[in-house]
Structure 1
């Protein structure tokens, strides 16, 4: 089934929603706003995944399985090990398919702002020094750039597979705002 666009009506009232896209596309922002509009719980995967000092939390998969078993939630579609579980329970996927330049510029601004203000993210963690962009192959800026194509490929495979829940494909910030306002 082809994806729905920003102005297409949803086939049903969503209860379990995944927001997909690459790092920096705005998944968490949209997921939180959508949860508020729908009046259902939002579960931020990064907050569940990252423990102090960026150490992965041992309880991550169990925490995701626990909320995924409930009837109503919104979360991001990320975290390789939990993707299949989340997809199996989701009844709607919202794909933020923004141009690479847009994603990267959003992420660059966000990363610099968080680092300069030493914004606490999850469990006491803050963005690392900006120079680690050069030395850390998993720095969020490098990760977003290198994973952009993989994310698009994953979504195209999902759409081609035919067994996915309905997918809403949003290609710009304007479309995101318009779609969210229609919910």
Structure 2
């Protein structure tokens, strides 16, 4: 879900498992100037990533999730309450705007963008029900990919803690 902490979770998971991590917004979705990469290009990049033997993706856009699901071993879904993911997203977006933090190929949040029809905050509101339904539908398929759906950050921390290798 947008704002749930998928990228941070993916990086931590990749570090713990020693797997390469691919951040979708940066590598697949967006070009400089907040220009969305053409769908054909996104599909080609995603296909190249999932053709590798090992990888962690922080998301799978609907335009090419079929490629990911065909090769993934498990989906870790952060199905947090809307208030939690939206609260995180608001804090992150406003913080990036205030600090002029670069992300996604040098893009920065602007007040104009935050308040526009293309706002990431409005995207969260519009896409949340669809993303939640899609994740739960994947989970319900008896012959589909295993989905480990986590409903609270404590569950993610527990999972990551179980994966940590104790230092000697």
The normalised TM-score by structure 2 is: 0.89
- Report the 3-state secondary structure (helix = DSSP H, G, I; strand = E; otherwise coil) of the residue aligned with 1:81: coil
What is the alpha-carbon distance in structure 2 between the residues aligned to residue 40 and residue 116 of structure 1? 33
Equivalent position of 1:114 in the other structure: 96
Q: Structure 2 regions of 5+ residues with no counterpart?
A: 164-168
Using structure 1 for the length normalisation, give the TM-score: 0.82
Work out which of the residue numbers 148, 155, 163 in structure 2 matches 1:175. Answer: 155
C-alpha spacing 1:169/1:42, structure 2 compared with 1 (3 Å): same
Question: Structure 1: where are the runs of 5+ without partners?
Answer: 1-21
Conserved? CA contact 1:77–1:86, under 8 Å: no
Aligned to 1:166: 146
2:5 is matched with which residue? 26
Worse-matched range after superposition: 56-65 or 93-102? 56-65
1:140 to 120, 125, 128: 120
CA distance in 2, matches of 1:106, 1:173: 12
Do residues 95 (structure 1) and 77 (structure 2) align? yes
| Divergent runs of 4+, >6 A | none
Deviation at 1:101, TM superposition (A): 0.7
Mapped partners of 1:170, 1:76: distance in 2: 14
1:68 equivalent to 2:47? Answer no
CA deviation after TM superposition for structure 1 residue 77, in Å? 2.9
- Whether the aligned pair in 1 keeps the contact of 2:139 and 2:145 (CA below 8 Å) is no
Alignment check: 8 A CA contact 2:60 2:68 kept: no
How many residues matched? 160
DSSP 3-state at the match of 2:108: coil
RMSD over aligned Cα atoms: 1.4
1:4 is matched with which residue?
none
